[in-house]
Amino acid sequence: MELDDLKGAWAAHTATLERSLALQQRLLRESLLRRPRLALAPWLIGRALEVALGIAAIGAAVPVLLAHAGEPRYAVLVGGLLVFAVIMTALSTHLLVRTLAVDWGRPVAAIQREVEQIRIAEYRAIKWALLGGVVFWLPALLVLFEALTGIPVLGRVDLAWLIANVAFGLVVLGLGQALSRRFVERPGLGAGARRVMNALSGRGLRQAAARLAEVGRFEGEG
């Protein structure tokens, strides 16, 4: 065999080996990324249930509001509750769609950034759910009771007591929002803010972030 033939055979062998290594690396990467994707499955189901519950809440509030059209108490409280339910349902839908749209074919660092942004968005959604819940928990219970029984309990509750509950909730909402922006959401904050966000993050997102970190370390070592 002549030298040129040997060079050609060697080049062909090298190309085949490179293709094989690339294929094995791709398959290994897909196998490693399967773990964070599976970790997100229960979290995605939870977000889908939130969307369904939000739609159900809207469906319960609208007939009550229409049945008492022109009554200021219902217009303010049930109208505010309805706006809150729409916003929370939209936030849950945004989280669900954004997570489903993650491109797992991108570099791991890019996927990690996307997951981190989703965690921040989830924290903000949970924050508004908790703070808004303090404002609307009583109207929500009364509207739910009326939707189920047809008894207009919201119209029979002492107005001063209703106003006091809502006013207290608004104070808590304002204080909570100020503290969150000061100590958690401001860019450049340290471990304390991250611990708060980790505590409120869904388990699936935390596990997915941890699995992605493992994949990132593996690729870095490779």
Per the CB < 8 A criterion, the answer to whether 118 and 92 are in contact is no
Q: Which of 1-15, 127-141, 182-196 has the highest mean pLDDT?
A: 127-141
pLDDT tens across 77-109, in order? 999 999 999 999 999 999 999 999 988 888 888
pLDDT tens across 157-171, in order? 888 999 999 999 999
SS3 1: coil
69/101 Cα distance (integer angstroms): 41
CA 166 to chain centre: 27
- Evaluated on CA atoms 196, 175, 75, 94, the torsion sign reads negative
The predicted model scores a pTM of: 0.79
Residue 65 has a pLDDT of 94
Residues 6+ apart with CB under 8 A from 122: 95, 200, 201, 202, 205
Q: Locate 175 and state its tokens.
A: 């204080």
Kindly list the domain boundaries of the chain, sorted by start residue.
35-221
Q: Is pLDDT above 90 for 220?
A: no
